[in-house]
């Protein structure tokens, strides 16, 4: 999990990994994230477990706390995910008006 959080620059600093290989690794990690998320975007998201499956891997890779809002249609299908607040290493502050704005 830690390697997938690294930037191209950070990966390039590892002995034996050059800039091209580092870019390839970052692309592979991103592709893996997309591959695991796509099927869920069409499913009925009606439980916390399914929301975790949708966002868990992505959120786990973040280096700072982030508050996200999952917007669903009337059939509980994903419309989009909005990042409301990005905070520090261990907290994210958001006022209710930022969360419930029209």
User: What pTM was estimated for this model as a whole?
Assistant: 0.56
Q: What is the pLDDT of residues 26-42, one digit of tens each?
A: 898 888 777 765 566 67
Q: In this structure, are 96 and 49 located in the same domain?
A: yes
Q: Rounded CA gap, 85 and 92, in Å?
A: 6
Average pLDDT over residues 46-67: 87
Assigned token pair, 41: 């975007």
Q: In this structure, are 50 and 96 located in the same domain?
A: yes
Q: Is 45 exposed, middle or buried (0-12, 13-18, 19+ CB in 10 A)?
A: buried
Q: Say which residue, 87 or 50, is predicted with more confidence.
A: 50
Tell me what the pLDDT averaged over the chain comes to. Answer: 84
Q: In this structure, are 32 and 78 located in the same domain?
A: no
Q: In this structure, are 26 and 57 located in the same domain?
A: no
**Which residues span the domain enclosing 7?**
1-40
Residue 1 clears pLDDT 50, i.e. is over it: no
Q: In this structure, are 29 and 66 located in the same domain?
A: no
């Amino acid at each position: 999990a830690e390697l997938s959080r690294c930037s191209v620059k950070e990966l390039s600093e590892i002995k034996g990994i050059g800039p091209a290989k580092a870019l390839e690794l970052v692309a592979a990690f991103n592709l893996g994230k997309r591959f695991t998320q796509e099927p869920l975007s069409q499913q009925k998201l009606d439980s916390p477990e399914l929301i975790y499956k949708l966002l868990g891997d992505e959120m786990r890779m973040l280096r700072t706390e982030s508050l996200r809002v999952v917007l669903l249609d009337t059939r509980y299908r994903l419309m989009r995910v909005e990042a409301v607040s990005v905070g520090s290493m261990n907290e994210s502050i958001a006022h209710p008006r930022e969360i419930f704005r029209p």
